[in-house]
Every structure is written in C-alpha cells, then in structure tokens.
Amino acid sequence: MLFKYSAAILALSLVAAPAAARTPPPAGIWANPHNTVHVTFKRCRDAICGTVVWASRTAIEDAQRGGVDQLVGEELFRDFVEDEPGRWSGEVFIPDVGQTVSGTITQIDARTLVGEGCMFAGFGCKTQSWKRIK
C-alpha cells in the first residue's frame, strides 16, 4: 500500500514539476546600464526575443560604426529559450561591432535582468544589468 502512494506521489510530482519550474519570460521594456538603449522583450516563435524600441544618439552612432544603419527595430536578443528556471540562453547581436555571440539572460527579480555574452568560447565575456522601465 505504501508503494502505491509513493508511486502516485512521484507520478504527480513529475507532472507538476515542469509547470512549477517555468518562469514567466522577461516581458516588457528594459534599459541597458547606461540607459542608451531600450529593448522590448516578447515571445517570438517558440522563444523570446528583444528588439530595440529606443536608442540614444550615441548608441545609434556606435551601431552605425559597426555597420548597423537602423538600430531602432534591430533584434538584439534572438531565440532565447529557458534552460533552467529564470535563465534563458540564445544569441545576442552586438551592434557596435556587428557580431552575434552566444549569451544568457537571468531574471534576478521583477525589475532586474542580467545578460552575459562571450565573444570567443568563454573569452571576452561581458555582463550587464538591465532594468525594467515598463
């Protein structure tokens, strides 16, 4: 009898675990550390993406030097999928150098998002703390 209850509890926990482990994606508008770029995160296909909705003159000029003519509308965060609760992995486009790198975003709390990307297999890594503005 104890085995039947244990098996039922185990089966129930396996069904409930994926739903409990999912964290809502970081939807909304987020600002980079220098408040020079605002990105809106939303569902895109089967993942989440982040698209520039506002950029300062300096950010626009830096992006143009990297070969990006139109920064506003550019998708900086691409195909991010949740690989553990509150942490997503995907590709980050860096407009001022015109390169795409692997990266992660981790939602620390409702207003803080930490992004990390590395240029070369764990080298040239950079971490930024983004703040929700809307």
Domain ranges of the chain: 25-132
Which CATH number is associated with domain 25-132? Answer: 2.40.128.520
| Paired tokens of 95 | 């407009």
Q: What pLDDT, on the 0 to 100 scale, is given for residue 12? A: 36
SS (H, E, C) 2-64: HHHHHHHHHHHHHHHHHHHHCCCCCCEEEECCCCCEEEEEEEECCEEEEEEEEECHHHHHHHH
> Is the pLDDT confidence value at 6 over 60?
no
- What's the mean pLDDT in 65-81? 96
- What share of the chain in percent tops pLDDT 90? 69
Work out the pLDDT band at 4, boundaries 50, 70, 90: very low
Average pLDDT over residues 87-113: 94
pLDDT digits (tens, 9 = 90+) for 20-36: 455 677 889 999 999 99
Share of the chain above pLDDT 70, in %: 81
Question: Model-level pTM?
Answer: 0.79
